[in-house]
Amino acid sequence: MMPAIHGQGDGTRDGLLRPMTPYDAVIFDCDGTLVDTAAAHYRALADALALHGVVLEPTLYHARTGISLSSLLVELRATGVPAFDEMAVVTEHERRYRELLPVVTEIAAVAAIARPRAGVSHWPSPPAGGATSSSRRCAPPACIPLSTLL
């Protein structure tokens, strides 16, 4: 059973998210949940595609936030953009994204739940963990302490 999350609009006055008990652990997705990575991913991908003469429109990218990079590139190809080397784009995206990691910021309401549970391994404070499909070298710094718990 998935626990409900209390927050603004459910009678709490401070708007903070509060997981309902009981639960055994809390796992946070990093990209877009624990940290705001959308702008950095967009900029990295737009820069990588520009090297191949492809313009990545922000509306196209943001409408597909959450799908895998490979799926996004397949959909992008279908729009009739100039041909590009997918592996080169993926490699350049990763390189550029690593450069942009310092500008990635945590999402405070979620971090407030995760931070006190990092490193905890027993009730009454269930442990927290972070999950990401990114390679470890591309994981935002705020996610690394949590991801080591899994």
Q: Exposed, middle or buried, 142 (CB in 10 Å: 0-12/13-18/19+)?
A: buried
pLDDT digits (tens, 9 = 90+) for 10-31: 444 565 666 666 666 667 778 8
> From residue 98, how far is each of 110, 114, 139 by CA, in Å?
23, 23, 9
Q: Is the pLDDT of residue 95 over 70?
A: yes
**pLDDT band with cut points at 50, 70 and 90 for residue 44:** very high
Q: What is the pLDDT of residue 10?
A: 46
53-63 average pLDDT score? 95
Q: Is the pLDDT of residue 69 over 80?
A: yes
Determine the Cα–Cα distance for residues 127 and 149; give it in Å rounded to an integer. Answer: 8
Give the range among 52-66, 86-100, 131-145 with minimum mean pLDDT: 131-145
Q: Which residue has the higher pLDDT, 90 or 32?
A: 90
User: CA neighbours within 13 Å on the CB side: how many for 115?
Assistant: 10
Percentage of the residues of the chain whose pLDDT score is greater than 70: 60
Give the range among 11-20, 44-53, 61-70, 75-84 with minimum mean pLDDT: 11-20
36: left (phi over 0), alpha (psi -120 to 50) or beta: beta
DSSP reduced 3-state for 33: coil
Q: What is the DSSP letter of 5?
A: E
Q: What is the pLDDT of residue 150?
A: 37
**pLDDT band with cut points at 50, 70 and 90 for residue 132:** low
- Write down the mean pLDDT value for the chain: 77
